[in-house]
Structure 1
């Protein structure tokens, strides 16, 4: 699974949302174990590193791979597209032996749109989303 870490994810890990797990942890809990979890973050790296430790402890998932992504704006479509493509290429994707899953829920609407575009074009992938109301879809 490849996903952004969003504000709600950080808030949940920091106890600001009660017992809510947030989008990423909810997806991991609801899905059979993912072989790998790659997280992208445009937040302060140390804050998201602490989130990853919380995520691993809370969900029992395998170690997460965290990638810091510097963005001038979390709504700059062209920049998000360019940086995400670079990260995916660094992971040697696409690869016929790897089934990619993009998680749509965390991040900005621009980040979500880029996942959809990439999944339907250069990096064929399964798309998932999570919500309190419907769980994992």
Structure 2
């Protein structure tokens, strides 16, 4: 009877430890994020619009939002735009931190595309960035 009780206690402790480890580690990011929110956004925009590298962009996104298919689709959308317009160039204003509270920040910027035939388009973007071992982009709207 004592052996059964001991085995039960050990199993419960192992299960509790496993649950605690899962809850602690499930939202961790691999690698190190950017040193501040505006750098996280600038690096993300560079990966998407200038390098057009979905893998690089994914490494800058928080684990909760790291959807490889959506990131690849956005980069493919940019590639299509590049192939159908005359020499488009992407640039953006220096990202501005509008609100930072603890481990969360809101960052905004305007992305501008200019083509060689002098067409210009602007898109205002708002990012939610979180801090976990550095800053990570989590949402773009």
What's the TM-score once normalised by structure 2's chain length? Answer: 0.27
- The structure with the larger Rg is 2
Give the strand-richer structure, 1 or 2: 2
What's the TM-score once normalised by structure 1's chain length? Answer: 0.27
**Larger RCO of the pair (alpha carbons < 8 Å, separation 6+):** 1
